[in-house]
Amino acid sequence: MQQTQPKSPTKIPSDPLQRAWIALGRISQSVQLHVAIALKDAKLPDLQWYTVLWELERAGQPTRPKDLAVPLFILPYQLSRLVDRMEKEELVSRIDCEEDKRGHLLELTVKGLALRKAMWAVYAPAMQQAMGRITDPEALKLAELLYKLGDIENPHGS
Amino acid sequence: MQQTQPKSPTKIPSDPLQRAWIALGRISQSVQLHVAIALKDAKLPDLQWYTVLWELERAGQPTRPKDLAVPLFILPYQLSRLVDRMEKEELVSRIDCEEDKRGHLLELTVKGLALRKAMWAVYAPAMQQAMGRITDPEALKLAELLYKLGDIENPHGS
DNA sequence: CCCCTTATGTTGCATTTGCAACAAAATGCA
DNA sequence: TGCATTTTGTTGCAAATGCAACATAAGGGG
């Protein structure tokens, strides 16, 4: 798993920031793809569906779409249609919201909960396999650098 | 830029690999989005178009689609349609391939070259701004860890 | 209360995508 | 050579997506 493609001169910029940018793009894409393929091979929905299910489960209560859109990093209309499809599969359901008659609350169904668990059984090992080449301390260092890189708060503080 | 959202307990896994996975997903998405928005605001095409133009320019000669698909990390049919659209804009052109009559060679046009440069003028500063919070040594360390994480060869060796 | 502005979601339509089926040239081999 | 297999790339069709326009409720003065 070490030395692949000895070909291609792959002219790489000397600027450290550009090198980090390229590495970030390539590795995240490759690793995401690995997990996505594992899920597809198992005839399971994709990562976005998982994230919706997980956020709802983690919230522990029916949640407004607008509160889900932020952690999901997606636009309202995208979430609207995503929920359409998931509701059709009976994984979530839209229930009335008393405080705000415009919207509604999204509730995880029993089927949705079960699917999230089934997906995790595939997701977790695939992630492990995709990333297993670094040690735990290295993984922590990597997470730290990434949070410093972006302007997203590191949930663990510095 | 430190303490945002004091809300949400944000239960985060203690497993270092999972923490790195989450950081990787969130940060790469956020940073990519920042650059994508900068390009869109400038009425320029997206990153994928840039990458095609850049790979062709870097190759320095007409190139087979199959040789582009690998660095682009995309499937043949995706590239086929991508080239359809770019050819319509006269950014690349399909020219005959003597060695293999099935396919063709992709050639960068003058217009394509100019567009790549115009995009870089927006792309580079946006990238800088999105990632400018880490120092150069940190950026190098980050790139190193990323290449160790994935199984993609680090163009700089270890 | 009425009206204007903002917030929250949804939808029509055109573009894009994924998948599987297809086409055609190259390759291997009997 | 003849013919099956592989490689390279494209396409029909259904599903998904982006964008802008829309619908409806909430909020905020006068």
Q: Over 60: is that where the pLDDT of B4 sits?
A: no
By CB atoms closer than 10 A (0-12, 13-18, 19+), residue A139 is buried
3-class SS letters over A53-103 = HHHHHHHCCCECHHHHHHHHCCCHHHHHHHHHHHHHCCCEEEEECCCCCCC
- CB-CB under 8 Å, A139 with B16: yes
Rounded Cα gap, residues B3 and A105, in angstroms: 28
Q: pLDDT tens across A76-104, in order?
A: 999 999 999 999 999 999 999 999 999 99
Residue spans per domain, chain A? 18-148
Rounded Cα gap, residues B141 and A24, in angstroms: 12
CB nearest A138 (choices: B27, B128, B145): B145
Rounded Cα gap, residues A25 and A2, in angstroms: 19
Asked if the Cβ of residue A66 lies within 7 A of any atom of strand C, the reply is yes
Place A150 in a pLDDT band, splitting at 50, 70 and 90.
confident
User: Within its chain, how far is the Cα of A81 from the centroid?
Assistant: 18
Q: pLDDT tens across A101-145, in order?
A: 999 999 999 999 999 999 999 999 999 999 989 999 999 999 999
In CATH terms, A18-148 corresponds, of 3.90.420.10, 3.40.50.1860, 3.40.50.2000, 1.10.10.10, to 1.10.10.10
- CB-CB under 8 Å, B128 with A134: no
By CB atoms closer than 10 A (0-12, 13-18, 19+), residue B142 is buried
Q: For the structural domain made of B19-134, what CATH number should be given?
A: 1.10.10.10
